[in-house]
Amino acid sequence: MLRYASMRIIGAIPTLLLVIVIAFLMVHAAPGGPFDAERVLPPDIERNITHAYHLDESLPQQFQRYLRGLLHGDLGPSYRYRDYSVSELIGKALPLSIWLGSLAMSVALLLGVAAGLLAALQKNTFFDRLLTGVAMIGISVPIFVVAPLLVLAFAVHLNWLPAGWSSSSGLSRYLLPVFALALPQIAYIARITRGGMIEAMSSDFVRTARAQGLGTVSIVRYHALKPAMLPLLSYMGPAIVGILTGSVVVEQIFGIPGLGRLFVLAALNRDYTLVLGIVILYAVLIILFNLLVDILYGLLDPRIRKR
At residue 74's C-alpha, the angle toward residues 73 and 77, to 5°, is 160
Q: What is the pLDDT of residue 110?
A: 92
Closest CA to 112 of 14, 196, 56: 196
At residue 266's C-alpha, the angle toward residues 264 and 272, to 5°, is 135
159 domain-assigned: yes
Cβ–Cβ < 8 Å for 101, 243: yes
279 domain-assigned: no
16 domain-assigned: no
Domain that holds residue 231: 98-260+289-306
148 domain-assigned: yes
164 domain-assigned: yes
HSE (side-chain half, CA atoms, 13 Å) at 145: 7
Q: Is 266 exposed, middle or buried (0-12, 13-18, 19+ CB in 10 A)?
A: buried
52 domain-assigned: no
Closest CA to 178 of 246, 86, 274: 246
Output the DSSP codes for 232-301. Answer: HHHHHHHHHHHHHS--HHHHHHHT--SHHHHHHHHHHTT-HHHHHHHHHHHHHHHHHHHHHHHHHHHHH-
Where does 122-174 have alpha helices with state H? 126-140, 143-150
173 domain-assigned: yes
Cβ–Cβ < 8 Å for 240, 289: yes
68 domain-assigned: no
Closest CA to 181 of 227, 136, 135, 150: 150
Q: How many domains does the chain have?
A: 1
Q: Give the domain CATH number at 177.
A: 1.10.3720.10
The Cα–Cα gap between 116 and 191 comes to 6
The Cα–Cα gap between 226 and 267 comes to 42
Q: What is the pLDDT of residue 1?
A: 63
Closest CA to 242 of 281, 275, 276: 281
Closest CA to 70 of 5, 19, 9: 19
Q: Is 157 exposed, middle or buried (0-12, 13-18, 19+ CB in 10 A)?
A: exposed
SS3 of 71-118: the string is HCCCCCECCCCCCCEHHHHHHHHHHHHHHHHHHHHHHHHHHHHHHHHH
Residue 24: CB atoms within 10 A of its CB come to 20
- pLDDT 10s per residue in the chain (307 long)? 667 667 777 877 888 889 889 988 888 887 766 666 555 666 676 677 777 777 777 888 888 888 888 888 888 888 888 788 899 999 988 888 888 888 898 999 999 999 888 888 888 888 888 888 888 888 888 888 888 888 888 888 888 888 777 766 677 888 888 888 888 889 889 989 988 888 888 887 777 877 877 777 787 777 787 788 878 887 887 788 777 765 778 888 888 888 888 888 888 888 888 989 988 888 888 888 877 877 777 666 655 555 5
